Structure 1
């Protein structure tokens, strides 16, 4: 988004009748303000940055305008998994700026120093062992950095995706919450213990941006997070370890599900917009092949927005410049939002549950999990609170009696 904002002078030069005014905010703040504005039909924004979670739910509510593009846009070039998540009743309601899954990013030098070799498809057991062996508190190196900051799109995105690989699920087939089940206890206890032994101090305050800064500064042996981070950690202009980074699939536990998610940040037009045509013109530009080429000419192919178009992964210039390209595409293709868990569930979504109530509920539970990470409450207490909150909310919303 920072790159896009820097390049929009190009758009304004080509469209002198359209002026862009940016509102920049943190991820949690963005979600809160955008959700409030669209639910109240406030009309404050003409273009929204929204995720894969919101797009179909808001489209069903009639809160978004359908997007239509001309043939040059080549909507069929959008990766099927990403496009499907932005579609409601066969109509597209958001266009992806970039798509992502999650994967392991690791320091090859520290892995070698620990006498280990990272598999392409590691298990959580291997990751935990490697993290503890790579930790060097005296040198300021944490074996692993993981999201701990409370938020449905922060720590809960990571922990929910992780829980899938442990056999856990948010709800059973009849929408009864499952936080009182042993799979969730194993997930959260493993996470808290691993971060205590090998994670950074104050991990409960760290989200994507904070962990990126730690990794770039050489303070993380491993980081499991969004595939989009790959172009940052391998950029010598910002990363002190750019030439020492390897990639692997998100871990599993041998149960048939990896802990990788599927997500896209997208641009959409709210139904309340008074400038819908101009807004769609901008979206068509910002998510086009031409925009990708513009970024490449300005900042190099390694820094173009990944994970949205199939043609990018057939582009030899990109494949040569981005050593993480294949792992990114493999991670996206391995994600299955319709079958996210080991046991059957009534919902879609991997790191989220695609129901309107999830956003508020997961934010509340995320606060409890963050407190457990900080040592303020026990794992058992956090899960008990999660079970109570989820049961109360699902009863209130009439999913269960």
Structure 2
């Protein structure tokens, strides 16, 4: 919060108009505002589920994290309407020179590094996500390639997957992607981008990022993710944090009680 306010004050003191210090995802939706709030809550020592799959994201640590996150979204230095912004809108603002900093995905370089579309193509850089009181956390996410178990052409599919994810294919795709092979981050085309902070942050994310239990592939995620997302959105718009999280936790536990995850875990 202090860094954001200091940055905005510097922009204001320099007479810079129409540029805001920071914002990040707040738009309602499972996988939207939950993507960044999950990392923030964990960075403050909170978590979404305990070992028995009980929702606990109304803990003191989670409340503190949401107090900080809300200020980062709506406080001094954030653009108007940040409560409803998603990553596309945020990246567009950054590329247009209207946003001084943001939390974004590694692959968003394709939107901000094109000089024909971005006013900051020659000046942007990246760094690790800020560290919280408990840890430095991120929310890893990636596309996956799979083979349907009922496919009659599994061998052909397997051969395609090998080709699609191979080093030569990744090299042909160039720097317009965030490669899934670590060796490519150190290759000459990526080094020639002269974005050492971005490469450092990307590699750190792949090497250190861990999924919260909330986003670990549980069948209930679409429903519980939506419940949590709505609660976070309500907080950004001014609802009391503790009471809103308490209500969301109760709803999530009701879903988990009926779902398969606890049953599979023997709870």
Answer whether TM exceeds 0.5 for this pair.
Answer: yes
Partner of 1:3: none
Superposition pairs for residues 19-30 of structure 1, below 5 Å? none
> 1:203, 1:274 → 2: CA distance?
48
CA pair 128-183 structure 1, distance change in 2 beyond 3 A: farther
Partner of 1:200: 79
CA pair 230-322 structure 1, distance change in 2 beyond 3 A: farther
Partner of 1:368: 231
Partner of 1:144: 22
CA pair 130-356 structure 1, distance change in 2 beyond 3 A: farther
> 1:144, 1:151 → 2: CA distance?
21
> 2:152, 2:8 → 1: CA distance?
55
The runs of 5 or more residues in structure 2 that have no matched partner are none
Correspondence 1:388 to 2:250 = yes
> 1:208, 1:351 → 2: CA distance?
20
1:320 corresponds, among 180, 192, 202, to: 192
CA pair 254-352 structure 1, distance change in 2 beyond 3 A: same
* Partner SS state of residue 308, structure 1: coil
CA pair 130-334 structure 1, distance change in 2 beyond 3 A: farther
> 2:23, 2:214 → 1: CA distance?
18
1:188 corresponds, among 47, 66, 69, to: 66
The runs of 5 or more residues in structure 1 that have no matched partner are 1-124, 297-301, 338-347
> 1:127, 1:269 → 2: CA distance?
46
Conservation of the 8 A alpha-carbon contact between 1:165 and 1:253: yes
Correspondence 1:352 to 2:215 = yes
CA pair 373-138 structure 1, distance change in 2 beyond 3 A: farther
Conservation of the 8 A alpha-carbon contact between 1:203 and 1:374: no
> 1:292, 1:183 → 2: CA distance?
41
> 1:349, 1:170 → 2: CA distance?
7
1:247 corresponds, among 126, 130, 134, to: 126
1:65-109: CA deviation from partner (whole Å, max 9, x where unpaired): xxxxxxxxxxxxxxxxxxxxxxxxxxxxxxxxxxxxxxxxxxxxx
* Partner SS state of residue 270, structure 1: coil
CA pair 281-353 structure 1, distance change in 2 beyond 3 A: closer
Superposition pairs for residues 42-81 of structure 1, below 5 Å? none
CA pair 131-363 structure 1, distance change in 2 beyond 3 A: farther
2:108 corresponds, among 207, 213, 229, to: 229
> 2:93, 2:151 → 1: CA distance?
39
> 1:163, 1:131 → 2: CA distance?
24
Partner of 1:330: 204
Conservation of the 8 A alpha-carbon contact between 1:151 and 1:362: yes
Conservation of the 8 A alpha-carbon contact between 1:236 and 1:242: yes
More helix per residue: 1 or 2?
A: 2
CA pair 233-359 structure 1, distance change in 2 beyond 3 A: same
The Cα shift of 1:293 comes to 2.7
More strand per residue: 1 or 2?
A: 1
Aligned residues: 258
RMSD between aligned residues: 2.7
